[in-house]
A and B are shown apart, each in its own frame.
Chain A
Amino acid sequence: MLDDFMTRATLAGVGTALAAAPLGCFVVWRRMAYFGDATAHAAILGVALSLAFSMPIFVGAMIVALVMAAAVTLLTGRGYAMDTLLGVMAHSALAFGLVAVSFLSGVRIDLMAYLFGDILSVSHVDLAVIWGGALLVVALVAWRWSALLTATLNPDLARAAGIEPRREQLILTLALAVVVAVAIKVVGVLLITAMLIVPAATARPFARTPEAMAAFAVALAMVAAWIGLQTSYQFDTPTGPTIVCVVAVMFAVSSIASTLRRVG
């Protein structure tokens, strides 16, 4: 059954949605969207390094994403505003990555595949990596759920309850690096942030609790991955961007619906 490329692509999309959506809720609640962007953009440098040293893409991307996240965390609060710092880091990492890729002679790389994903070429190994990573992230977020939520509400509130907010921040950072590495194949580094935050933002108006929002975001992201895949097959459009287009349309509909409900 996994021999059919459409089946593999669907499973890859659903797996990515499963990992990205719950984590995306925290990215939205903690206003970390730009942080996600920086981590994701840095991953292209990881791709270049992986190819240069013939490592699996997943490993290189994850290492660079982690280094990036650690660098941002360390540099925070040393003179520059967070968004300036992230802007510098994100785009420098992307630029260095693109330049590094150009040095790789002998390897013909389809750069577009890493920038925007190439879900239709997902192999059995890729699928194993995607689902392994997705389950790891879901397990991590589920395990720390209450602590993460408390730290997100207020750091002092967390400390008074015996939770170390910096530890929870580190866990989120780790999970983010895994999601980036997992999602490269599916949507590419430029669109990963969209898979994180758009389903979460779409789910927001219809949720009364954080858990409901996360569950709803996962469902939306999975449906979007499936619809996006079918649409791109039908109309021969690039798959990663098509999936993101579908979540974007969902977001628009959700926003209009919630506005109408409030007015009406």
Chain B
Amino acid sequence: MSTKHTIAAEKFLQNSEKVTRHDQTFWSVRVKRDAQSQELPEWEELREAASQIKKHTITHLAEYLEKFEKNATKNGAIVHWAKDADEYNEIVMDILHKHQVKKVVKSKSMLTEECHLNDHLIKHGIDVVETDLGERILQMMHLAPSHIVMPAIHITREQVGRCFEDYKISPEVGNYDPTYLTRCARYHLRDNFMTADCGMTGGNFGIAETGDIVVCTNEGNADMSTSIPKLHIVSMGLEKLIPDYKAMGVFHRLLARCGTGQSTTVYTSHFRGPRPGGEMHIILVDNGRSKILGNEEHWQTLKCMRCGACMNTCPVYRRTGGYSYTYFIPGPIGINLGMLKDPDENYHNLPACSLCCSCDNVCPAKVDLSSQIYRWRQGLDGMGHADPMKKFMSKGMQVLFESPGLYTTALKFAPIANHLPKFITEIKLNGWAQGREMPVFAKQSFHELWKKGKVKA
């Protein structure tokens, strides 16, 4: 009864101290999020408003997309449409070729991860430099993000220091002081900002009413990326659209509070059109999103604004780390998005949920995360991915529970299990016995006590 997640999780859990650190780091973000939410009396109304706005926008998506395109074009931006990752990567390459770009500086974008843009650009000889510090560290270490908002938080400062030494960014060998290392990163990134020919950003929000793109960062790297090169390319999933600035007010109040426990991100940058003498391209990417829209049971995933709050609260994510999941987005939202992307590869993540439902309560857009995971599990048998042991056990329970007679007989004989030797009850198949004693059957069940008139007031 194991999947890729359960195996990877078991391995991750062998290092108890690392698990404690990982758990406490993300729990502290949850605590900060709680404190922020408690400061706004209208918090729950905000969440409901965000949920309704997202629902409204994605159910009127065609209308808002056209409006956005019209207004962005009026502002002087060039809007592109990409139906999938391949088309998206080609559009980016075309723009870069046309401008003879040799180096791209990028601010953080999960969409480019989703489409494997960096690999594509590097293959075509483009120098790609991530400028979000966490992303840059991971890029240098050739690692994937383990969280969507704090991608490199699982890396220690010693590891960062050694990596910087390897890349000749840190001249003082053995100096792992965070302030020092941050300064090294700053000099290194400045050089890259100065020499890049193109800046790429994601988009946290696209505002249909004005054609604006809103990008939220804590490091100002999106602003640096777009302030020096004359060419700016925005990559944005279709679902990032919101109707107007009134809606923006709702989301702006929620995003950072939920994501990192800050009242606002340090930088909230509004891009409206190209810089003088430059070009601004906006690529709107579908890549399966319109298909999700038609999925009655899972369309709500499109309400997600990628704040990461569901990961921070998830007791399983906190104790198993981002790399235990097969999809590049981990945690509750990642389990669901992974299933929508490729169920054959990502059904492995479905056990990674105790159905505690905490994610449902922290989600600023009220995505029904745990219910969706429950529903995916119901579909596993039909996909041919049901665990044979679980199916066998469920079938056994069905037979037992459908027949009260058989059930009462079983109850009568159950206490015998108490006297079985440990080597039988703790065979490897029995996951329960790993770190737990077997529960003890009562000598007489409630059923039996009742029948014998022993249950008395």
Binding partners A and B: no
Residues of A participating in the B interface, judged by any CB pair closer than 8 Å: none
